[in-house]
Structure 1
Amino acid sequence: MDRLEATYDEFCNDIVARAGESGEPLEAVFFEAYMAAAVENGDCIDLDYCPSSQGGRGGARIDGVAVDPERGVLYVGICDFHVADALQPLHAAKLEKIKDRLVRFVEQATDPAVMATLSPETEGFDAYYSVWTQLQMIRRVRAVIFTNARLATAKPPEAAGEMAGIPVVYNILDFSRYASIMGSRSGGEPVEIDLEALDAPPLVCLPASTGNGRYASYLAAMPGETLAAIYGLYGPRLLEQNVRTFLQAKTKVNKGIIRTIREAPEMFFAFNNGLTATAAGMTTRKAEGGAELVTRIRGLQIVNGGQTTACVLTARDRHGADLSGVYIQMKLTIVDEDRIDEVVPRISRFANTQNRISEADFFSSHPLHLALEQISRRLIAPPRPGHVSGAKWFYERARGQYREATSGASAAGRAKFEAEFPKTQLIDKTTLARLEFTFDCRPHTVSAGSQKCFLAFAEFISREWEASPLRFNDAWYRDVAAKAVIARWTDQMVGTSDWYRADRAWKSQTVAYTLAWIVHQGRLRGKAGLDLQSVWRAQDVPDELRDVIRAAAPAIAARLRCAPESVRNIGEYTKHQACWASVSGLAINGLEVPDLIYLDADQARQDRKDAVQSRRLDVELDFEAGLPAMVPHAHAIGELARRARLATPRADQALRKLASGDILLAPGERSALRQVLDRLKAEGVELPMQGGDPAAAGAVVQTLKLGSTGVRMVKL
């Protein structure tokens, strides 16, 4: 059995297990898994799952829909899922039939005669209504085909004709691509640009680096038509992941950029800040005059200038702008493939300091996630029901960490790891965001989708961490795990209930709103929230809380369905504060919520105070324990601090003592040294004793701060 077949077997087993746990059909679980990969890869934004299938030849089918009105893009997703013991081939004839069914859906959703026959009770009504009500904004369709079969040869995104008169780009996510995306640590597949295949002229570039063999930088003037063609084909995949998340979730189309393109295209190069991009490699040839011409770019990622990129395409597609006179300056850095995961996030971070993309948006390296990762690796939970020993809740700071921990391990080694860190006790960043906002009575934010929820959580964490980093401690993580226990039990209960099976819709929204409603009832009584520590101790949901959830969930689901008459799309309605205002005020007849499921406010305050004190002591002890490891690197750390202009006399004194082998630092020296180390980490410098490369660290700290603008130039 080859590696892909083994991955396929593991995937199928996982889908079956998740379907059994959640009570959802296999195809729904398959859609959720593939959509998460597609969103991560930039193939689509969060799709609302609203399956609809018409029988017969030429019948329409749709599984997921989303509209990005700012950029005029309709995303449609369709599933080709089949239960098979072995990986099956996807033939061209079958692929064309799948495309035809998607085309038929878009044609129906844009046909007034068809729409006049539909009602909210019609299967897939939300999908049709989303397209119909936003039709005037749609200028492009991005069709994503999810299949657990395998194409004979990989297919890049393909601009192929139209759907209902709208240009369409097809993107096929077969199992080979899915496995590749899930196996990538860098957030998705590399984008391969062949300018000749796009009928675009080669890029004239100017070398702009010392050429030390590790990094090479170039300056180029990218034609607007070329940039629009590339972005039109690849869409958000072209953007580095943090930039992509920010752009899709927050940024409005910049009218000033579009106005310049339309009214003064010849001035665009002068007015616009341009692009900062990275790549793993490129192919060039020499022009007659000796200039270097780029014909192919491998692994292209735009790390700054995502808004400019999107606006160039919008100006052409929505406003009919002529791009023939538009050029965009581009700084392109070629990074060795084995350094991409380390260097690209740093370039992205520093290139975006002039934007509203905050420290927390560069998320996996945020101190909170480093702290939670450390806590999760040592904190042992009490035994689950039916088990004699406890296990740990694995926090996945960076995607793929859990999988990599067992990669290449023997069967015995893998079993040992999974006994210590069960798959059912895995929490990733997006799960953390959903849990925190659900139990903070923000179910409308959770319902807005993983990207918007994630970005809102990033902003929240940035503020909270700055105010009090010590509050994110063992007790806080125990509460997170307890929230996961409650949420997963609730999800399973809803999925297997008769009332939900009779009308399978809006399950995740029902779960989020139900738990938020229960927390809200406690707040109305002056309680701090649910008694999460009792859940942690039992690693299970208490009977009293189960009874409340069972009684509340169907009532909450019914309230969501009884939206105001003006609301035709309930899924969209759940994303708004008005929906939460309606649900939070719901009184459920016959349901008495007992006080014992909540935690007293005074007790909660004391518990938080004790946890902060304990965390403060842990941090001090960890720092003391780490001093011997700094001894051989003290000189290098001091040099990095001086080059970054972060050194202080007291910190220098501490480092000199360490360099001489003396680890008995005075309190003031310890404090000064800790501040310097924290600031270096905040600057993105991986310190030598952490395995960082001094050359790469030196490149990062070579920054130029320009007055009050806050702009940083990174020399690599």
Structure 2
Amino acid sequence: MSDTGELITFLTDMNQEIRALTEAEEDGAQLEEKATEYMIGMLSDAGETEDARVCTSIKANKANQIQHKINGYALSEDYETVDLFITFFQEGGEVRSFPKSEVTTAANQSERFLKDVFNGYREKLDESAPVYDLAQVLFEHAVKVVRARIFILTNARLTSDIVLPDRKLRDTLHVQYHLWDLERFHRLWTSRNRREPIEIDFEKSYGKPLACLPMPVSNNDYQSCLAIVSGTMLAEIYERYGARLLEQNVRSFLDFTGGVNKGIRNTIRTAPHRFLAYNNGIAATAEDAEVREMPGGGWAIYKVRDLQIVNGGQTTAAIFRTQRQDKADISTVFVQMKLTVLRRPEEMDEIIPLISQYANSQNGIQAADLSANNAFNRQLEKISRTCWAPAIKGSALQTRWFFERARGQYKVAYNRELSSSRRTAFEKQNPRKQLFSKEMVAKFEHIWNGYPYLVARGAQKNYSEFLKEKLKKDCLPNNVFFEDLIAKAILFRTADTEYGRGATKIGDFKFLTVPYSLALLNHLTGGRIDLFKIWKQQEVSENLREVIRKLLYVADKFLLDNAGGKLVSERAKQEDYWKLLLAKAPTGDGRQKLLDLLVDDFSDTQQQKKRYSKNNDELAAEERRQEEESLRSLGAKSWEIIEQWGRQTDLLTPHKRAKCSSISSNISKQRPLTDSEIENGRSIVDLVVEKNPQLLEELYAEQTVSATAAAPRRIVTMQDVEHLLEWERANKKLKADDAGFLIKINKRELRLSDSVKGKVWYLQNSVVRHGYVIPVLQTA
């Protein structure tokens, strides 16, 4: 049992995360919905479920008593397994109890949902209802559903060791209950999100231990033994655990489409007694196994913990499915099994993929398909920690987009900051709304590259396809890739917000409409959207937002009108559906009207080519230049003030204060900053952000005011504004808010007063060093 103090801390952190997720949604979200999303996320990362969707369905009777309820679901591609999630979330900082009566209520409510679905509940639903697809699929494929796993999720604590036994809802449907309370989530977190192990007691479950031949010579790395497993036992184990039994990287090979699988099926049907002779058997691993001598002689496996089949997934699934689908007799089917028990658990993640790789080499499965490619994600992580996003309009504070290569990295980094002030600074520099995962990377990239149908297949499958493509190209991300990626993230979140929530939402297929609409946007514009501009401004223009909203309606209507009697969610997974949308997309005047709105959002072709052709050295130089300009933008006087602040507060060392002085001197003398000054200057700004963020805002404001006030008596006209704005669109050297300032003048939203003229003059001079030539105009 977990320590109460640790549980309270974990509960507080969990509730804060859920609250932050809720508040990050610009269009409003329910706490229970975000609690479900958060808890499902933990289970997904631990391998307990896959491609789960948050989707609420509540049915009440006339007395307003809840008859059935679910908060989410996951459905395996072969329809064998359906996971249902029901959430009970309570706010507050105290650890609350979750009594057995509420557990029973939750189990009954989710079980009633299953019964309703199998009895034709879909007929009572509107086709646009979020849960309609699930109800339709389960009704149509009821005979294929082998197991229903009901997950009861709560941030409360079970009052006792409650066990809900497995049961049969129908003759062929195995219902399992998984209770996930605060304590169990805490154990999962402290185990670094390792999935809960599969434990099998052969004597208890099958009446006798599994006879085996142990390895004659022991060693410190592993223990191995050989066994012959009956097809009946293997099928029963698979029926209970399904894909959880299989090493994650080989799950995608479980179907009857390949020649190997067809051969397995034919052998079981026509010559089951020869199966052992024909089949190579299975390779499995375990964290621990109880192997001992039997009373009558010989050795046997009595218990096994954390069993995983790393090779032979095809064999295992084929035996089960042939028995179930073809009613085949598998009583004479036997399979050879090699079980390897790894003595060093910390090495399991490294060794298991290797066992899988070498075992599968005989079947032509590529090693690249069996191991995760961390190089791409590690490089992306590195960039995300060092690349600062431009300050948003009206602020001098730069932020980062935080990439979580592994779930929980943000929280670890946050907790690493020991004081409350440092944690506040961390959150300012790394806003939670700018947190993204590797699955999101795959989603953003595939949408923009024209693969919305892959995105529709679910996060895990989409990421798997994305990873395969990256492995083929053997490419690593650079700063340009990262900037474009964040621009795509901003586009996605804009579309997500525009789709709406609750009573104001466009429809019920946001998870499909958003990907399809953005992919359509890129197609209609010929890939001309200026991603670098979005990166620089950290938002989309109003015109682009308007076009996105129009395309959301187009895509949503298309998805509903063209499913051809099939499920929208299933049709959306097919490439031909995407091609059909392209064929029906706006053309002629309709398309041109959209393009006319986006003139200011298109990139310059030559500038775009130049940007993408830069090598890593050029990108590093560009990054250094941007960093230097960021420090220079404060002005020489500001660095003197920062030096004085550091001396008065004793927060800057003499060395750091000296750097402030040298930075100020070089800015005033228009000399370049050294690498040391840039590196120290950035850390000094970070410290000011942490200790006195208001000072930085004041310095920025003073710099703008002083620049404006210092303007000479010169006649600045609208020609100046238009000339500078045209140059800026091609070169993009101004800050986003300064460019926006010029656009407002050009649109006559700002009057060309003396103070406005002064700032225009200041902006003209600030970009002279970048090659801007001030036009010769009349002077006073």
Query: Is this a same-fold pair by TM over 0.5?
Result: yes
- Which residue is equivalent to 1:662? none
Deviation at 1:433, TM superposition (A): 0.6
Q: 1:84 to 1:184 in 2, by over 3 A?
A: same
Secondary structure in 1 matching 2:585: coil
Query: Any gaps of 5 or more consecutive residues in structure 1?
Result: 619-716
Check if 1:234 corresponds to 2:233: no
1:513 is aligned to 2:512: no
1:27 aligns to 2:32 (yes or no): yes
Tell me by how many angstroms 1:594 deviates.
1.2
- Distance (Å, rounded) in 2 between the aligned partners of 1:118 and 1:308: 40
Q: Match of 1:586? A: 585
Letter in 1 for 2:355: I
- The RMSD of aligned alpha carbons is 3.4
Q: 1:28 to 1:297 in 2, by over 3 A?
A: same
Q: Distance in 2 between matches of 1:396 and 1:124?
A: 30
Deviation track 1:16-40 (CA, whole Å, cap 9, x = no partner) reads 2222322232233233333333344
Q: Structure 1 residues 72 and 86, CA, compared in 2 at 3 Å: closer, same or farther?
A: same
Aligned-pair CA distance for 1:429: 1.5
Judging changes above 3 Å, is the alpha-carbon distance between structure 1 residues 552 and 184 closer, same or farther for their aligned structure 2 residues? farther
Cα deviation, 1:45-97, whole Å, max 9, x if unaligned, reads 42454432211357233344454463633443333344454343332222222
Instruction: Decide whether aligned partners of structure 1 residues 557 and 216 sit closer, same or farther in structure 2, where only a CA change above 3 A counts.
Output: same
- Tell me the CA shift for residue 124 of structure 1: 3.6
- Contact preservation (8 Å) 1:359, 1:366: no
Aligned residues: 606
Q: Which moved more, 1:321-330 or 1:300-309?
A: 321-330
The equivalent residue for 1:560 is 559
Which has the larger displacement, 393-402 or 230-239?
A: 393-402
1:677 aligned residue? none
Aligned-residue sequence identity (percent) comes to 31
Within 5 Å, which residues of 2 pair with 1:493-572?
Answer: 493-495=498-500, 499-500=504-505, 503=507, 505-523=508-526, 528-567=527-566, 569-572=567-570
Structure 2 partner of 1:396: 404
Deviations 1:440-487 (Å, cap 9, x if unpaired)?
Answer: 12112111111221121122112222xxx36x3221122112222222
SS at match of 1:86: coil
1:250: how far off?
Answer: 9.9
Distance in 1 separating the partners of 2:585 and 2:555: 8
Q: Which residue in 1 is equivalent to 2:480?
A: 475
Q: Gaps (5+ residues) in structure 2?
A: 623-780
What amino acid sits opposite 1:537 in the alignment?
Answer: K
Would you say 1:195 and 2:181 are equivalent positions? Answer: no
CA contact (8 A) 1:185 1:399 kept: no
TM-superposed CA distance for 1:515, in Å, is 1.4
- In the TM superposition, what are the counterparts of 1:403-418 in structure 2 within 5 Å? 403-406=411-414, 410-412=418-420, 414-415=423-424, 417-418=426-427
SS of 1:434's equivalent? helix
Select 1:59's aligned residue among 57, 63, 67: 67
Between the aligned partners of 1:378 and 1:122, the Cα distance in structure 2 is: 43
Shift of 1:431: 0.9
Asked if 1:101 corresponds to 2:101, the answer is no
Alignment check: 8 A CA contact 2:224 2:341 kept: yes
1:444 to 453, 472, 475: 453
* Residue among 189, 205, 220 paired with 2:212: 205
Structure 1 residues 50 and 562, CA, compared in 2 at 3 Å: closer, same or farther? farther
- TM-score norm. by structure 1 comes to 0.76
Task: Give 1:370's aligned amino acid.
Answer: R
How far apart are residue 437 of structure 1 and its match?
A: 0.5
What is the CA–CA distance in structure 1 between the aligned matches of 2:401 and 2:360, rounded to whole Å? 33
Give the conservation status (yes or no) of the 8 Å contact 1:141–1:169. Answer: yes
Kept in 2: contact 1:373–1:396 (CA 8 A): yes
Per the TM alignment, residue 521 of structure 1 is displaced from its structure 2 partner at its CA by 1.2
Matched, 1:375 2:383: yes
> 2: CA distance between counterparts of 1:481 and 1:252?
43
Secondary structure of the residue aligned to 1:197 is helix
2:51–2:458: 8 Å Cα contact kept in structure 1?
yes
1:105-132 per-position Cα deviation (integer Å, ceiling 9, x unaligned): 22222225x6555553678433321212
Aligned to 1:332: 339
Contact residue 261 and residue 318 of structure 2 kept, 8 A = yes
Structural mapping, 1:44-55, within 5 Å: 44-55=49-60
Determine the C-alpha separation between the residues in 2 that align with 1:357 and 1:429.
24
Indicate how the Cα distance of structure 1 residues 355 and 181 shifts in structure 2: closer, same or farther if over 3 A, else same. Answer: farther
Range that drifts further, 173-182 or 301-310: 173-182
Shift of 1:279: 1.7
User: In 1, distance between residues paired with 2:285 and 2:577?
Assistant: 42
User: Is the Cα–Cα contact under 8 Å of residues 363 and 458 in structure 1 kept in the other structure?
Assistant: no
Which amino acid in structure 2 is aligned with residue 452 of structure 1? K
Q: Return the alpha-carbon distance in structure 1 between the equivalents of residues 53 and 414 of structure 2.
A: 33
Is residue 2:607 matched to residue 1:598?
A: no
Q: Which has the higher contact order (CA 8 A, sep 6+)?
A: 1
Measure how far apart 1:548 and its partner are.
2.2
Q: Give the match for residue 185 of structure 2.
A: 178
Deviation at 1:232, TM superposition (A): 2.1
My pick for the range that moved more, 233-242 or 208-217, is 208-217
Which position in structure 1 is the counterpart of 2:647?
none
Distance change >3 Å, CA 160–CA 146, structure 1 → 2? same
* Residue of structure 2 equivalent to 1:15: 18
Residues 185-218 of structure 1, C-alpha deviation per residue, up to 9 Å, x if partnerless? 4652222222233235322233337533232222
Q: Residue type matched to 1:556 in 2? A: A
1:60 is paired with a residue whose SS is strand
Aligned to 1:257: 264
Q: 2:130 touches 2:509 (CA, 8 Å); kept in 1?
A: no
> What corresponds to 2:326 in structure 1?
319
1:284 to 286, 291, 308: 291
CA separation of 1:153 and 1:282: change in aligned 2, threshold 3 A = farther
Aligned to 1:126: 133
- Indicate the residue corresponding to 2:468 in structure 1: 459
Match of 2:174 in 1: 167
Is residue 227–residue 309 contact of structure 1 (8 Å, CA) maintained in 2? yes
| In structure 2, distance between residues paired with 1:103 and 1:391 | 46
**Would you say the 8 A contact 2:8–2:93 is kept in 1?**
no
Change (3 A) 1:535 1:6: same
CA contact (8 A) 2:48 2:195 kept: no
The whole-number CA distance in structure 2 between the counterparts of 1:542 and 1:354 is: 55
Shift of 1:430: 0.7
Q: 1:557 to 1:449 in 2, by over 3 A?
A: same
- Residue 490 of structure 1 corresponds to 495
Q: Is the partner of 1:2 in helix, strand or coil?
A: helix
**Preserved contact between residue 279 and residue 335 of structure 2 (Cα < 8 Å):** yes
CA distance in 2, matches of 1:425, 1:33: 16
**TM-aligned CA distance change 1:262 to 1:284, over 3 Å:** same
Residue aligning to 1:714: none
How big is the shift at 1:436?
0.5
Pairing of 1:654-673 with structure 2 (within 5 A): none
Q: Is the 8 A contact 1:106 1:163 kept in 2?
A: no
Could you say if the C-alpha distance between residues 419 and 455 of structure 1 is closer, same or farther in structure 2, counting changes exceeding 3 Å?
A: same
Q: 2:739 matched to which residue of 1?
A: none
Q: 1:577 to 1:252 in 2, by over 3 A?
A: farther
CA drift at 1:603: 3.7
Alpha-carbon distance, 1:506 to partner? 1.7
Q: TM-score, normalised by structure 2?
A: 0.70
The alpha-carbon distance between structure 1 residues 116 and 513, as it changes in their structure 2 partners (threshold 3 A), is closer
Is the alpha carbon distance of 1:351 and 1:73 closer, same or farther for their aligned partners in structure 2, counting shifts above 3 Å?
A: same
Q: Deviations over 1:360-402 (max 9, x none)?
A: 5456543222322333333233234454342333333334433
Shift of 1:617: 11
CA positional deviation for 1:222: 2.6
Q: 1:498 to 1:195 in 2, by over 3 A?
A: same
Q: Would the aligned equivalents of 2:122 and 2:132 in 1 still touch at CA under 8 Å?
A: no
Tell me how far apart the structure 2 counterparts of residues 541 and 408 of structure 1 sit (CA, whole Å).
Answer: 34
Contact conserved, 2:272 with 2:330, CA < 8 A, in 1? yes
Read off the aligned partner of 2:574 and give its amino acid letter.
H
* SS of 2:174 mapped into structure 1: strand
8 Å Cα contact 1:79-1:147 kept in structure 2? yes
Q: For the Cα contact (< 8 Å) 2:253–2:314, is it kept in 1?
A: no
Secondary structure of the 1:530 match is: coil
